[in-house]
Structure 1
């Protein structure tokens, strides 16, 4: 990461049950390294996982567009999933995911971290019970390739849990792909319960200053079930 100096942030997922993650991140980052920042949609995904841990029990999970690893690490630390593959396309981001996995004392037998380019979906041949992702459907993203990757990689009956915040205007484009291909059933759930929007830092004022979207945005989980 050259001269960039990440900080360690302790993100509170569920204060009542003392569930949190220690994550290296950059608060200020250059173009192309947004995967080194903790985004609000990632916090929402991680909270969805810990609040619904039974959905991930005994599952093989793929996380696409992993970023700092918050979703995959939440599944590894706070659910009884089989294993998680955490993927991204930037080598600095991948190196940071590995460091964050070590910070949270995750057994190396339960996860892998590797490069995955959505444009090369046709070369990817692994199968999963669950795919997770947050804030991956945005303007400029290769949405058709992402769709084809998810479709190819999910077992029949498998589910993709994708968090889409209100400021992302390409959700309808992705949903149209789902409609056109007719390979998935779709459920949309608003994540508007109080526990999702709580400050992720012990200093609540600083938490909302650093991650303002938790108060300013709306979030939905889209559940795509492979028919």
Structure 2
């Protein structure tokens, strides 16, 4: 990548998210009505990266999402993204999908995350900052997201979906193969053994046949929760629908890889 321009993507800082929540005049009422409020989630994330069934880590930008941005950048001249329909599952800060949305022409990128608060406080602002409101320099840049939220109306090529992967295929409303996705992206989403089948089910039913591909960026193993590359690959191989290839690796304390899923 020495001969390539640096990848510049902007993302909202967690401190900024906390500041916005602190300014919310209705915060106290929200906490009383909704135990999964933004404030409650932020409180829980102080000592936890993930709280199953409440928060799935979307406020943090994970290492494998950066790996996936790097890979997509490397392959930008080999893979024809133009005109493609793309879905990022478990998007969080959504940098891989945003990279494609901000650098490619005539594409549609939809985003899904477990938490509505993550979509509103992180995903949508990040999409806006890198597309409609993109800064003209690399300096620190302040944008009033609350005032600029109407800019979402300009995002004609993106939709945002909240909630668990169970039932997501119904929500996506994919009645025909032509309505399905050419490319599915996902980063750091196969850490939980119980959720891996749900993620795989979405990929299997939402990916366009026969040329659709999915790129899954993940660590080889997630200590303490049981998921990882091996568990995911075993599930796919047993189903005999997709071929799996490792297309990217990065040596670290825990090895990181990107898997490419394509139809057999």
Query: If the TM-score is normalised by the length of the shorter chain, which range does it land in?
Result: 0.7 to 0.9
Unaligned runs of 5+ in 2: 16-41, 49-54, 133-153, 175-179
Which residue in the other structure is 1:189 paired with?
Answer: 247
Alignment of 1:185-224 (within 5 A): 185-192=243-250, 215-224=252-261
| Correspondence for 1:160 | 214
- 8 Å CA contact 2:116, 2:163 repeated in 1: no
Query: Does structure 2 retain, via aligned residues, the 8 Å contact 1:25–1:68?
Result: no
Q: 1:45 aligns with which of 60, 68, 71?
A: 68
CA distance in 2, matches of 1:216, 1:25: 25
Residues 14/100 of structure 1: CA separation in 2 closer, same or farther (3 Å cut): farther
- SS of the equivalent of 1:155 reads coil
Higher relative contact order (CA 8 A, sep 6+): 1
State the TM-score, normalized to the length of structure 1.
0.76
Aligned to 1:21: 9
Aligned length: 194
Deviations along 1:120-177, whole A, 9 cap, x unmatched?
A: 2452433100000111101255111111110000011200000122343432222122
The equivalent position to 1:109 in structure 2, one of 151, 156, 170, is 156
Indicate how the Cα distance of structure 1 residues 185 and 33 shifts in structure 2: closer, same or farther if over 3 A, else same. closer
CA distance in structure 1 between the partners assigned to 2:73 and 2:106 by the alignment: 12
- Using the alignment, how far apart are the partners of 1:190 and 1:101 within structure 2? 25
- Tell me by how many angstroms 1:16 deviates: 4.4
Aligned to 1:118, the other structure's residue is in SS state: coil
| SS of residue matched to 2:208 | strand
CA distance 1:190–1:144, change in 2 (3 Å): same
1:3-14 correspondence runs (5 A): none
Structure 1: runs of 5 or more not aligned: 1-12, 193-213
Match of 2:125 in 1: 99
Report what 2:187 is aligned to: 134
Rg: which structure is higher? 2
Moved over 6 A (4+): none
How far does the alpha carbon of each residue in 1:34-88 deviate from its partner, in whole angstroms, 9 at most, with x for none? 2111111111111111221242332110000001111110111123361100111
CA distance 1:171–1:144, shift in 2 (3 Å): same
Residue 210 of structure 1: aligned partner: none
